[in-house]
């Protein structure tokens, strides 16, 4: 009997993740979407929208034990994973001084450790033609003062994903690091912490639907990186040629942080 084909999307209840749900729900090769986030009410609303094709899982992916419990559900399900979208993540705008040690480390737990753990758990259930889509950011192109941990976590995701893409080539599994610029989502509700020295200018703001469509198209083409929009492309190119010290100065001036 054919195994069920599923897509797992983390951070599926909002913003960028919700767009991946919308797009993958149209794929006839996917029998079921597994949507992961913490807030049960938001997940219930999503579930009523997509009915039987969607299963929801309330998991705090920054909590190692909860993640291990979810991993056991994947292992017991005996499914083929066609897509893993590691999208859950967040950043905080401000100085290192504005965040507690717990808050700082939690960003690393979710943006890095959960991405690695989810990938390692899912790969054995993937086959030729399966895709891992890891959400990095334009912030991965350079170090960003006043968004320092966030940009460093996204640099990890970008580098890790590209190297894993090469390692998984012989299995026909692709890994794509998606590097969006600013997108209009609830990201900002969590990021704004009222810090005096903070990120305030959001140049090149776009909507998540366009970026998600490009990311899926790039993954299907087997690209290891997905960059959407002129502004993000320019930043990507600049970061290849300019010293990081210069890129950081540009950033501080653009943000009017002195």
Ligand X SMILES: NC(=O)c1ccc[n+]([C@@H]2O[C@H](COP(=O)([O-])OP(=O)(O)OC[C@H]3O[C@@H](n4cnc5c(N)ncnc54)[C@H](OP(=O)(O)O)[C@@H]3O)[C@@H](O)[C@H]2O)c1
Evaluate the CA torsion angle 132, 183, 241, 214 in order and state its sign.
Answer: positive
Member of 121, 135, 173, 227 binding ligand X (CB under 6 A)? 135
Closest separation in Å from C-beta 48 to ligand X: 16
What would the x/- binding string for ligand X be over residues 14 to 43, using CB under 6 A? xxxx-------------------xxx--x-
Residue with Cβ nearer ligand X (118 or 123): 118
Q: Would you say 13 and 43 are in contact if contact means Cβ atoms under 8 Å apart?
A: yes
Element housing 16 (H / E): helix 15-24
Cβ partners under 8 Å of residue 17, min gap 6: 9, 10, 11, 35, 37, 85, 87, 88
Alpha carbon distance 196, 202 (integer Å): 17
Q: Is 175 helix (H, G, I), strand (E, B) or coil?
A: strand
Which residue stretch of 84-92, 215-223, 227-235, 236-244 sits at the interface with ligand X (rule: CB under 6 A)?
Answer: 84-92
**Contact status: 229 vs ligand X (CB under 6 A):** no
Residue with Cβ nearer ligand X (80 or 213): 213
Residue with Cβ nearer ligand X (39 or 167): 39
Alpha carbon distance 234, 98 (integer Å): 31
Contacts with ligand X by CB under 6 A: the residue count is 31
**Contact status: 54 vs ligand X (CB under 6 A):** no
Which residue stretch of 26-34, 81-89, 163-171, 223-231 sits at the interface with ligand X (rule: CB under 6 A)?
Answer: 81-89
Q: Is 10 helix (H, G, I), strand (E, B) or coil?
A: strand
Centroid of chain to Cα 83: 13
**Binding interface with ligand X (CB under 6 A):** 10-17, 37-39, 42, 59-62, 87-91, 110, 135, 137, 180, 182-183, 185-187, 190
């Amino acid at each position: 009997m054919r195994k069920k084909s599923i897509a797992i999307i983390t951070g599926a209840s909002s913003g960028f993740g919700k767009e991946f749900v919308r797009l993958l729900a149209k794929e006839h090769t996917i029998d079921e979407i597994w949507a992961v986030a913490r807030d049960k009410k938001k997940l219930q609303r999503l579930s009523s929208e997509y009915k039987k094709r969607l299963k929801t899982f309330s998991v705090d992916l920054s909590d190692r034990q909860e993640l291990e419990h979810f991993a056991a559900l994947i292992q017991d399900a005996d499914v083929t994973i066609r897509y893993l979208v590691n999208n859950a993540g967040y950043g905080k705008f401000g100085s290192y001084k504005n965040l507690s040690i717990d808050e700082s480390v939690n960003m690393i737990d979710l943006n890095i450790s959960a991405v690695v753990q989810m990938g390692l758990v899912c790969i054995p259930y993937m086959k030729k033609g399966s895709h891992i889509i890891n959400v990095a950011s334009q912030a991965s192109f350079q170090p960003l003062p006043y968004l320092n941990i966030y940009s460093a976590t996204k640099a990890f995701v970008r580098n890790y994903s590209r190297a894993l893409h090469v390692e998984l080539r012989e299995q026909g599994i692709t890994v794509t690091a998606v590097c969006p610029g600013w997108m209009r989502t609830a990201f900002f509700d969590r990021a704004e912490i009222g810090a005096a020295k903070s990120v305030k200018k959001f140049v090149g703001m776009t909507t998540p639907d366009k970026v998600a469509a490009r990311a899926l198209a790039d993954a299907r083409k087997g690209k290891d990186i997905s960059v959407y929009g002129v502004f993000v492309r320019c930043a990507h190119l600049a970061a290849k040629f300019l010293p990081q010290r210069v890129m950081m100065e540009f950033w501080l001036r653009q943000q009017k942080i002195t």
